[in-house]
Amino acid sequence: MENINRSTDAQGLGKLTKVVIGVCLLAGAIALLRQLGSGASTGYVWDFQALWKYRSLLLSGLAYTLGFTVICITLGLFVGLVTGLGRLSSNPLVVAPLRAYIELFRCTPVLVQLVWFYYALPVLTGIEMSAVTAATLCLALYGGAFYSEIIRGGIISVDVGQIEAAKAIGMRPHQVMRRVVLPQAFKKMVPPLMNQSIMQLKNTSLLSVLAVPDLLYQGQVIAHEIYRPLETYTLIAVAYFAVLLPVTIWAKRLEFGDYDREA
Amino acid sequence: MTGKPEMSNSQISITGLRKSFNSHVVLKDISLRIEPGEVVALIGPSGSGKSTLLRCLNLLTVPDAGQISVGDFTLAFQGKSTTLPNERKLARFRAQTGMVFQHFNLFTHMTALQNVMEGPITVLKTPRAQAETQARALLQKVGLLDRADYAPDKLSGGQKQRVAIARALAMQPSVMLFDEATSALDPELVGEVLSVIKALAKEGMTMILVTHEIAFAREVADKVIFMRDGVVVEMGPPSQVIDNPVNDATRAFVGRFQASVNQ
């Protein structure tokens, strides 16, 4: 066990190094292309220093993005767990509306949903919502629809023999679920849940459409102010990348850990 | 000893039991009576209904009609109108029958020791320390105390099945049900499981074994029941059913076994 952990650690570090090397190579290639293209093809002079004085704005944007991600993932997981378990019911009156909810959110673009939640829903229901509330509700439900399928899939993939064995020693349905099914299902769910959560973080960039001051929104503000959209969006991209790269590597490691155990 | 069977109320009676899956009738009006301490072997060709009968005894399969009494519990079934006991009572009913499955069904996310402790802790609310002491004693009884901390996938088939027997015994059931407990094992691993079952028989545990091991049935069973097409064809001591069957179908079935012994 110890050994396996250490080897995956080494693998993880190796991955990070590889990615960093890859990024450096890419930057080098771009620089080379610029040289070959005689540099003056655009005449554009990059100036990242102009962004320095907006650092606090960018940091607050990043904080918004991360905060929103945490809230939307938490709410989304809750929605996903409830609806995922609900869909295992044998009662069609429970299953049908949940199915409808999931398909509705899976089969429409999240950008359309965001706009609809903010502009159309208040008209429909008469309930005024702030942009933040509308965005939170929308992203939580959107993520929840995907989480729901992941959770349901994980649960139904647990061998029926495990459930029978748990019933046979006298466990009641909620004990079977809590003690046997969920712990086993959770292992299988982790990699797809991680992937979906990474998408959740990226989806928060859509909040800028509703003028929620997330990282991308602040970037847009800055870009307009200093007329440096190339530098600004490059930095924004780098910031997203820097946050998500460690997460993807961690997620990958969880997957590889599983392969190791199965091999 | 922890696994000491309760001698008083462990009589089992089955009256007029019927079960069909869709239009396929699996059990046709089965009536049986099993005395405390009796070891009963259920033999018969595949699809004869012997496994279904066993699964009806702990309601993993719910009968269509008939009556089952195990210990203090009596349950009567009348087709779709049957109201199953509430989940609490159902779980208590199941807890007094120990089930051993063909494919072991050890909880894959727990060690051998945790598998044996799970029932007492979750269902009987036994204090952890006491459950562990008991579980270790049971593992010792099946000769696997040194494997207590192994995960199921690190155990051989025979070892898994012995842990599964210990897990069932931990609930101190009044009857042990073995559903083809050795059918999934490599031939060289069958013996270790059979010897555990034999030791239980010596202690006076009430047991019902669905088995293809005719020689073992003859050796260990007080009563052998030959089933075919959902009915009990012949029932009696092994000296009758296996050595001198009255019925032609029984003779044909055990004949193959007798021929292989006489060679």
Q: Predicted ipTM?
A: 0.89
A18: in domain: no
A39: in domain: no
Q: For residue B56, which of B88, B104, B4, B21 has the smallest C-alpha distance?
A: B21
Question: Looking at residue B71, what is its pLDDT?
Answer: 78
Distance between B112 CA and the closest CA of chain A, angstroms: 14
Q: Residues of B with CB below 8 A from A188's CB?
A: none
Q: What is the pLDDT of residues B8-33, one digit of tens each?
A: 455 889 999 999 988 888 999 999 99
Query: Which domain range does residue A131 map to?
Result: 51-262
Question: Looking at residue A53, what is its pLDDT?
Answer: 86
- Contact between B107 and A166 using a beta-carbon 8 Å cutoff: yes
Interval A245-263 mean pLDDT: 67
Beta-bridged to residue B65, according to DSSP, are B18, B78
Of A161, A171, A183, the CB nearest to B91: A171
* pTM metric for this prediction: 0.77
Quick one: what percent of chain B has pLDDT higher than 70?
A: 94
Q: What is the pLDDT of residues A52-68, one digit of tens each?
A: 888 888 899 899 899 99
A166: in domain: yes
**CATH number of the CATH domain containing A147:** 1.10.3720.10
**Count of pairs with CB atoms under 8 A, one residue in A, one in B:** 69
A4: in domain: no
Which domains are present in chain B? 12-103+175-262 (3.40.50.300)
Distance between A105 CA and the closest CA of chain B, angstroms: 34
Residues of B near A (Cβ–Cβ under 8 Å) read: 58, 60, 87-88, 90-92, 94-99, 101, 103, 105-109, 118-119, 122-123, 164, 167-168, 170-171
A40: in domain: no
Q: Residues of A with CB below 8 A from B96's CB?
A: 170
Q: Which ranges of chain B have pLDDT less than 70?
A: 1-10, 80-83, 261-263
- Contact between B88 and A165 using a beta-carbon 8 Å cutoff: no
- Contact between B105 and A162 using a beta-carbon 8 Å cutoff: yes
**Number of folded domains that form chain A:** 1
